[in-house]
Amino acid sequence: MSTTEYRDAAGRRLVDYPRPSVAVDTAVLAPDPDRGLLVLLVRRDSATRTDAWALPGTFLHEGETLADAVLRSLDQKAGLRGQAPRQLHVFDDPRRDDRGWVLSVAHVVLLPTAAVTPVAEDRPDDVQLRPVAEAVGLPFDHDDIVGMAVARVRAAYAERPDPERLMPEAFTLRDLRRLHEAVAGHRLQPDVFRRQVKDQLVSTGEATRGSVGRPAELFRHSPSTG
Amino acid sequence: MSTTEYRDAAGRRLVDYPRPSVAVDTAVLAPDPDRGLLVLLVRRDSATRTDAWALPGTFLHEGETLADAVLRSLDQKAGLRGQAPRQLHVFDDPRRDDRGWVLSVAHVVLLPTAAVTPVAEDRPDDVQLRPVAEAVGLPFDHDDIVGMAVARVRAAYAERPDPERLMPEAFTLRDLRRLHEAVAGHRLQPDVFRRQVKDQLVSTGEATRGSVGRPAELFRHSPSTG
DNA sequence: CAAATAGTGTCTCTTAGACAGTATTTG
DNA sequence: CAAATACTGTCTAAGAGACACTATTTG
């Protein structure tokens, strides 16, 4: 691992320092039109089936980035292929884990409900989706992580339309608004919402067909906004 | 350190995982009325006196929090007693440090220029203050850290008056505005600034005396805002 | 035509920003 | 009094939010 010899002011080599284990814990959030923001929980110990639900996490492996560890844990524990995990905060209380000295880097991932719900329904003993307001009393610092994750996602969605690109290629403003309502946790006025986001999107020139009511214009995300 | 035996799904004990060294690197920022935001740099290797300046940092010691490590490094390398360090980001590229596997947790600390300048003047060979715009070409990810630190502090000061409480107990709006101008890096209109911040402060009822011009009302930070 | 949904015109209220004025001190 | 600084009145432009209206479809 380490090839270059290095000594600090006290004459200790880099490898001589005790090193912490590093874990990642992830709040996977899914916006649901009916129930608002949902958070994915996994059973802490699938062998004993204790009734202890927690955020999915894992230990960082050698040569791995934090984002890779997050994606690996979501794949293993919930069969999910996540998008780009975002760092939230490092929890560093030396006594936060009685198994030893463990730092945890909290992350947030936002996924379409359609990608998460089937997994939870397939493996109800191991995976659960719960509205964020009801996800309390979790172990470690997981309540705090959920709170930070919700705040981060809500702030991002209040700034601009669907920054995590959960919508399909083309979409109506109605569907986009439903997504934003699920994230925000409350209704948004259709006309106000329209004026806020319209200039930040690109019209496809197409419109919906076959639905009741006047057809709706279809929009795409603007390429520049990322 | 670890007392409870713990095995993961692969049967490996917690302590069997290879663990990274964890470092902290800190952008100490000081608002200067003339030169804008200054960042504190220290000489990387004070023995060889190579011309390599970098942000102060250190390795996390056992049983220590990240914030404690930041304060320790600032005390040792610059003789500073810092305030509350804020976490910015974890840099986790496994190959970012050729000495080995090192994660770095970037932090930002804001200090009054009066606390930092004397140190830099006393030990010019080891400590330097440089305007943030001129602090480029630093080693590791330190350019990114400075950028994140500046963005974080500017966003906080644009939101509300002196969130880091750098001002003394009682202060005039003129002095508060000078601080905000140093953080923002540009002039602010006195009358607009006054109306923006006045309601978020508490008047002491006192006023300045002996200065030329009309005496200025003295304000205090409001206790509620933290 | 009724019902449903999409989209617009317009009014009010608030706020940022700019400018010019008044107020109160020193020298 | 002149100069300097503190503070306020007021105008304009822009935007959020609310409401009512028009537009276009299905059944």
Specify the CATH superfamily of domain B18-158.
Nucleoside Triphosphate Pyrophosphohydrolase (3.90.79.10)
Average of pLDDT values for A193-201?
A: 94
A205 vs chain B: nearest CA distance in angstroms?
38
> What pLDDT digit, counting tens, does each position of B169-193 carry?
999 999 999 999 999 999 999 999 9
* pLDDT range class, residue B225, cuts 50, 70, 90: very low
Structure-block tokens of residue B149: 């630190």
**pLDDT in the model for residue B60:** 96
Which one has a higher pLDDT value, A57 or A5? A57
**pLDDT in the model for residue A10:** 60
User: For the purposes of burial, counting CB atoms within 10 Å of the CB of B80, is it exposed (0-12), middle (13-18) or buried (19 or more)?
Assistant: buried
Question: Looking at chain B from residue 1 to 20, which residues have their Cβ under 8 Å from any Cβ of chain A?
Answer: 1-4, 6, 8, 14-15, 17-20
The predicted model scores a pTM of 0.90
* pLDDT range class, residue B217, cuts 50, 70, 90: very high
A58: left (phi over 0), alpha (psi -120 to 50) or beta: beta
Q: In terms of Cα–Cα distance, which of A103, A89, A31, A95 is closest to A60? A: A103
C-alpha to C-alpha distance for B128 and B41, rounded to whole angstroms? 5
> What pLDDT digit, counting tens, does each position of B145-171 carry?
999 999 999 999 999 999 999 999 999
Q: What is the mean pLDDT of chain A?
A: 89
C-alpha to C-alpha distance for B3 and A163, rounded to whole angstroms? 44
CB environment B57-78: b (16+ within 10 A), e (fewer):
bbbbeeebbbbbbbbbbbeebb
Q: Do B101 and A3 touch (CB under 8 A)?
A: no
| Measured CA A194 to C1' C12 distance, in angstroms | 20
What distances in angstroms separate CA A223 from CA A169, A184, B91, one per listed residue?
A: 12, 24, 28
Does residue A26 have a pLDDT over 50? yes
Q: Which CATH architecture has domain A160-221?
A: Orthogonal Bundle (1.10)
Q: In strand C, which positions have an atom below 7 A from any protein CB? A: 3-9, 16-20, 23-27
* pLDDT range class, residue B127, cuts 50, 70, 90: very high
CATH class, A14-158 region? alpha beta
Comparing A4-18, A54-68, B142-156, the range with the smallest average pLDDT is A4-18
**Domain spans, chain B:** 18-158, 160-221
Q: Name the range with the highest mean pLDDT among B66-75, B77-86, B209-218.
A: B66-75
Nearest to B101 among A9, A62, A99 (CB): A62
* pLDDT range class, residue B99, cuts 50, 70, 90: confident
Question: Looking at chain A from residue 39 to 78, which residues have their Cβ under 8 Å from any Cβ of chain B?
Answer: 59-67
C-alpha to C-alpha distance for B189 and B173, rounded to whole angstroms? 12
